[in-house]
Amino acid sequence: MSYQDILFDLSGGVARLTLNRPDKLNSFTARMHGEVADALGRVEAEGARVLVLTGAGRGFCAGQDLSERQPAPDGTPPDLGETVDKFYAPLVRRLNALPMPVVVGVNGVAAGAGANLAFAGDLVIAKASASFIQSFCKLGLIPDTGGTYALPRLVGRARAMGLALLGDKISASQAEAWGMIWRCVADEEFDAELERLARHFAQAPTKGLAYAKRALQASLGNDLDTQLDLERDLMRELGRSADYAEGVAAFLGKREPQFKGK
Protein backbone atom coordinates (compact mmCIF):
# COMPACT_ATOMS: atom_id res chain seq x y z
CA MET A 1 0.00 0.00 0.00
CA SER A 2 1.41 3.39 -0.96
CA TYR A 3 0.89 6.15 1.60
CA GLN A 4 -0.24 9.69 0.83
CA ASP A 5 -1.27 10.97 4.26
CA ILE A 6 1.31 9.34 6.51
CA LEU A 7 5.04 8.64 6.51
CA PHE A 8 6.20 5.22 7.67
CA ASP A 9 9.60 3.68 8.24
CA LEU A 10 10.69 0.54 10.05
CA SER A 11 14.37 -0.07 10.64
CA GLY A 12 16.56 -1.21 13.51
CA GLY A 13 13.52 -2.35 15.45
CA VAL A 14 12.01 1.15 15.42
CA ALA A 15 8.74 1.80 13.59
CA ARG A 16 8.15 5.50 12.91
CA LEU A 17 4.65 6.58 11.90
CA THR A 18 4.17 10.27 11.10
CA LEU A 19 0.77 11.79 10.38
CA ASN A 20 1.47 13.80 7.25
CA ARG A 21 -1.21 16.34 6.37
CA PRO A 22 0.61 19.37 7.78
CA ASP A 23 -1.51 21.88 5.84
CA LYS A 24 -4.57 20.50 7.70
CA LEU A 25 -2.80 20.06 11.06
CA ASN A 26 -2.77 16.31 10.35
CA SER A 27 -6.53 16.00 10.80
CA PHE A 28 -7.92 12.55 10.07
CA THR A 29 -9.65 11.52 6.88
CA ALA A 30 -10.95 8.08 5.98
CA ARG A 31 -7.89 7.62 3.76
CA MET A 32 -5.52 8.50 6.59
CA HIS A 33 -7.28 6.02 8.88
CA GLY A 34 -6.82 3.32 6.26
CA GLU A 35 -3.14 4.11 5.86
CA VAL A 36 -2.55 4.14 9.63
CA ALA A 37 -4.33 0.79 9.97
CA ASP A 38 -2.15 -0.69 7.23
CA ALA A 39 1.03 0.65 8.84
CA LEU A 40 0.07 -0.74 12.24
CA GLY A 41 -0.34 -4.15 10.62
CA ARG A 42 3.22 -3.87 9.38
CA VAL A 43 4.43 -2.83 12.84
CA GLU A 44 3.10 -6.09 14.23
CA ALA A 45 4.23 -8.27 11.33
CA GLU A 46 7.70 -6.95 10.58
CA GLY A 47 9.49 -7.21 13.90
CA ALA A 48 9.26 -3.73 15.38
CA ARG A 49 10.16 -3.41 19.05
CA VAL A 50 8.84 0.13 19.53
CA LEU A 51 6.41 2.39 17.69
CA VAL A 52 7.06 6.14 17.55
CA LEU A 53 3.99 8.16 16.56
CA THR A 54 4.20 11.86 15.77
CA GLY A 55 2.97 14.53 13.36
CA ALA A 56 4.48 16.53 10.53
CA GLY A 57 4.69 20.31 10.53
CA ARG A 58 3.48 22.54 13.34
CA GLY A 59 0.76 20.29 14.72
CA PHE A 60 0.40 16.76 16.04
CA CYS A 61 -3.23 16.18 15.08
CA ALA A 62 -6.32 18.39 15.00
CA GLY A 63 -8.71 15.44 15.20
CA GLN A 64 -11.29 14.70 12.55
CA ASP A 65 -11.29 16.58 9.25
CA LEU A 66 -14.80 18.02 9.52
CA SER A 67 -15.06 18.50 5.76
CA GLU A 68 -15.69 14.74 5.58
CA ARG A 69 -18.50 14.85 8.12
CA GLN A 70 -20.98 17.17 6.44
CA PRO A 71 -24.71 16.43 6.03
CA ALA A 72 -25.73 14.46 2.94
CA PRO A 73 -27.25 16.37 0.00
CA ASP A 74 -30.71 15.49 1.31
CA GLY A 75 -29.85 17.00 4.70
CA THR A 76 -29.29 13.70 6.53
CA PRO A 77 -26.73 14.31 9.29
CA PRO A 78 -23.55 12.21 9.36
CA ASP A 79 -23.55 9.16 11.60
CA LEU A 80 -20.76 10.10 14.00
CA GLY A 81 -21.29 6.92 15.97
CA GLU A 82 -20.43 4.93 12.87
CA THR A 83 -17.29 7.03 12.45
CA VAL A 84 -16.20 6.24 16.01
CA ASP A 85 -17.01 2.56 15.62
CA LYS A 86 -15.31 2.20 12.25
CA PHE A 87 -12.20 4.30 12.75
CA TYR A 88 -11.35 5.74 16.16
CA ALA A 89 -12.30 2.89 18.50
CA PRO A 90 -10.34 0.29 16.48
CA LEU A 91 -7.33 2.62 16.40
CA VAL A 92 -7.27 3.04 20.19
CA ARG A 93 -7.80 -0.68 20.75
CA ARG A 94 -4.99 -1.51 18.36
CA LEU A 95 -2.50 0.86 19.98
CA ASN A 96 -3.36 -0.52 23.41
CA ALA A 97 -2.91 -4.08 22.18
CA LEU A 98 0.47 -3.61 20.47
CA PRO A 99 2.99 -5.88 22.24
CA MET A 100 5.59 -3.13 22.47
CA PRO A 101 5.93 0.41 23.84
CA VAL A 102 4.09 3.11 21.89
CA VAL A 103 5.95 6.42 22.23
CA VAL A 104 3.96 9.48 21.15
CA GLY A 105 5.79 12.68 20.29
CA VAL A 106 3.42 15.65 20.41
CA ASN A 107 5.15 18.25 18.28
CA GLY A 108 2.37 20.86 18.30
CA VAL A 109 -1.33 21.26 18.93
CA ALA A 110 -3.23 18.06 19.77
CA ALA A 111 -6.94 18.80 19.60
CA GLY A 112 -10.06 16.70 19.92
CA ALA A 113 -9.44 13.15 18.74
CA GLY A 114 -5.80 14.15 18.23
CA ALA A 115 -5.36 14.81 21.94
CA ASN A 116 -6.97 11.54 22.92
CA LEU A 117 -4.97 9.67 20.29
CA ALA A 118 -1.85 10.91 22.10
CA PHE A 119 -3.22 9.68 25.43
CA ALA A 120 -3.67 6.22 23.89
CA GLY A 121 0.12 5.93 23.74
CA ASP A 122 2.23 4.41 26.49
CA LEU A 123 4.79 7.20 26.87
CA VAL A 124 3.96 10.72 25.70
CA ILE A 125 6.48 13.51 25.36
CA ALA A 126 5.59 16.96 24.07
CA LYS A 127 7.34 20.09 22.93
CA ALA A 128 7.07 22.94 25.40
CA SER A 129 5.20 24.86 22.69
CA ALA A 130 2.64 22.08 22.21
CA SER A 131 -0.87 22.15 23.65
CA PHE A 132 -3.84 19.85 24.29
CA ILE A 133 -7.47 20.78 23.72
CA GLN A 134 -10.65 18.78 24.31
CA SER A 135 -12.47 20.75 21.63
CA PHE A 136 -15.51 18.49 21.40
CA CYS A 137 -17.70 20.65 23.65
CA LYS A 138 -17.36 23.53 21.21
CA LEU A 139 -19.13 21.36 18.62
CA GLY A 140 -21.75 19.89 20.94
CA LEU A 141 -19.96 16.55 21.16
CA ILE A 142 -18.24 14.38 23.79
CA PRO A 143 -14.55 13.42 24.01
CA ASP A 144 -14.22 10.29 21.89
CA THR A 145 -11.16 8.24 20.85
CA GLY A 146 -11.12 6.95 24.42
CA GLY A 147 -11.17 10.44 25.94
CA THR A 148 -13.93 9.78 28.46
CA TYR A 149 -11.97 6.70 29.58
CA ALA A 150 -8.47 8.16 29.67
CA LEU A 151 -9.08 11.62 31.10
CA PRO A 152 -10.51 10.73 34.54
CA ARG A 153 -7.84 8.06 34.95
CA LEU A 154 -5.06 10.48 34.05
CA VAL A 155 -6.16 13.62 35.88
CA GLY A 156 -9.10 12.71 38.14
CA ARG A 157 -12.80 13.48 37.89
CA ALA A 158 -12.70 17.20 38.63
CA ARG A 159 -10.07 18.06 36.04
CA ALA A 160 -11.55 15.65 33.49
CA MET A 161 -14.89 17.40 33.85
CA GLY A 162 -13.28 20.81 33.43
CA LEU A 163 -11.38 19.72 30.34
CA ALA A 164 -14.42 18.08 28.74
CA LEU A 165 -17.00 20.76 29.56
CA LEU A 166 -14.90 23.90 29.03
CA GLY A 167 -12.51 22.88 26.26
CA ASP A 168 -9.69 25.00 27.64
CA LYS A 169 -6.26 24.81 26.02
CA ILE A 170 -3.71 23.05 28.25
CA SER A 171 -0.02 23.75 27.76
CA ALA A 172 2.48 20.90 27.59
CA SER A 173 4.02 21.97 30.90
CA GLN A 174 0.61 21.93 32.57
CA ALA A 175 -0.15 18.56 31.01
CA GLU A 176 3.05 17.21 32.55
CA ALA A 177 2.23 18.73 35.95
CA TRP A 178 -1.24 17.15 35.86
CA GLY A 179 0.10 13.72 34.88
CA MET A 180 -1.48 13.76 31.43
CA ILE A 181 1.85 13.10 29.73
CA TRP A 182 5.24 11.70 30.68
CA ARG A 183 7.39 14.72 29.92
CA CYS A 184 7.44 18.23 28.47
CA VAL A 185 10.76 19.04 26.78
CA ALA A 186 12.23 22.16 25.27
CA ASP A 187 11.41 22.46 21.58
CA GLU A 188 15.04 22.26 20.57
CA GLU A 189 15.51 19.02 22.57
CA PHE A 190 12.37 17.28 21.32
CA ASP A 191 13.77 15.40 18.31
CA ALA A 192 16.81 14.16 20.23
CA GLU A 193 14.67 12.98 23.16
CA LEU A 194 12.28 11.14 20.85
CA GLU A 195 15.22 9.44 19.16
CA ARG A 196 16.79 8.53 22.52
CA LEU A 197 13.58 6.82 23.64
CA ALA A 198 13.25 5.01 20.32
CA ARG A 199 16.78 3.64 20.53
CA HIS A 200 16.36 2.69 24.19
CA PHE A 201 13.23 0.64 23.54
CA ALA A 202 14.66 -0.93 20.38
CA GLN A 203 17.28 -2.61 22.60
CA ALA A 204 15.06 -3.32 25.60
CA PRO A 205 13.43 -6.62 26.70
CA THR A 206 10.33 -6.10 24.55
CA LYS A 207 8.32 -9.05 25.81
CA GLY A 208 8.72 -7.94 29.42
CA LEU A 209 7.69 -4.39 28.52
CA ALA A 210 4.66 -5.70 26.62
CA TYR A 211 3.59 -7.72 29.65
CA ALA A 212 4.08 -4.74 31.95
CA LYS A 213 1.85 -2.73 29.61
CA ARG A 214 -0.74 -5.51 29.64
CA ALA A 215 -0.71 -5.79 33.43
CA LEU A 216 -1.07 -2.06 34.01
CA GLN A 217 -3.97 -1.87 31.57
CA ALA A 218 -5.71 -4.80 33.26
CA SER A 219 -5.25 -3.27 36.72
CA LEU A 220 -7.78 -0.55 35.91
CA GLY A 221 -10.57 -3.12 35.99
CA ASN A 222 -9.19 -5.75 38.39
CA ASP A 223 -9.47 -6.15 42.13
CA LEU A 224 -6.28 -6.80 44.10
CA ASP A 225 -6.54 -10.60 44.16
CA THR A 226 -7.17 -10.80 40.43
CA GLN A 227 -4.24 -8.49 39.73
CA LEU A 228 -1.90 -10.48 41.96
CA ASP A 229 -2.90 -13.65 40.12
CA LEU A 230 -2.20 -11.96 36.81
CA GLU A 231 1.22 -10.84 38.02
CA ARG A 232 1.98 -14.43 39.04
CA ASP A 233 0.98 -15.79 35.65
CA LEU A 234 2.91 -13.21 33.68
CA MET A 235 6.00 -13.57 35.84
CA ARG A 236 5.89 -17.33 35.41
CA GLU A 237 5.91 -16.97 31.64
CA LEU A 238 8.55 -14.24 31.60
CA GLY A 239 10.77 -16.35 33.82
CA ARG A 240 11.06 -18.77 30.90
CA SER A 241 11.92 -16.07 28.36
CA ALA A 242 15.22 -15.69 26.56
CA ASP A 243 15.49 -12.04 27.65
CA TYR A 244 15.19 -12.95 31.33
CA ALA A 245 17.95 -15.53 30.95
CA GLU A 246 20.09 -12.95 29.16
CA GLY A 247 19.38 -10.31 31.80
CA VAL A 248 20.48 -12.62 34.63
CA ALA A 249 23.57 -13.77 32.72
CA ALA A 250 24.54 -10.18 31.97
CA PHE A 251 24.04 -9.14 35.60
CA LEU A 252 26.17 -12.01 36.89
CA GLY A 253 28.77 -11.44 34.20
CA LYS A 254 28.88 -7.69 34.90
CA ARG A 255 28.20 -6.79 31.26
CA GLU A 256 25.53 -5.04 29.29
CA PRO A 257 22.65 -7.33 28.28
CA GLN A 258 21.90 -8.01 24.62
CA PHE A 259 18.15 -8.38 24.60
CA LYS A 260 16.34 -9.87 21.59
CA GLY A 261 12.83 -8.92 22.63
CA LYS A 262 11.79 -12.54 23.22
pLDDT digits (tens, 9 = 90+) for 81-115: 999 999 999 999 999 999 999 999 999 999 999 99
Each residue's pLDDT tens digit, 219-230: 999 999 999 999
| Residues in Cβ contact with 128 at an 8 Å cutoff, skipping those fewer than 6 apart | 171, 172, 173, 184, 185, 186, 187
Q: Is pLDDT at 19 greater than 90 in this prediction?
A: yes
**CA-closest candidate to residue 4, choices 15, 13, 23:** 23
* pLDDT cut 70: percent of the chain above it: 100
Specify the pLDDT at position 160: 98
How much is the CA Rg of the chain, to the nearest whole Å?
A: 19
What is the pTM assigned to this prediction?
0.95
* Mean pLDDT to the nearest integer, 159-186: 98
Calpha distance 66→229 (Å, rounded): 46
* pLDDT cut 90: percent of the chain above it: 94
Determine contact, residues 172/131, Cβ cutoff 8 Å.
yes
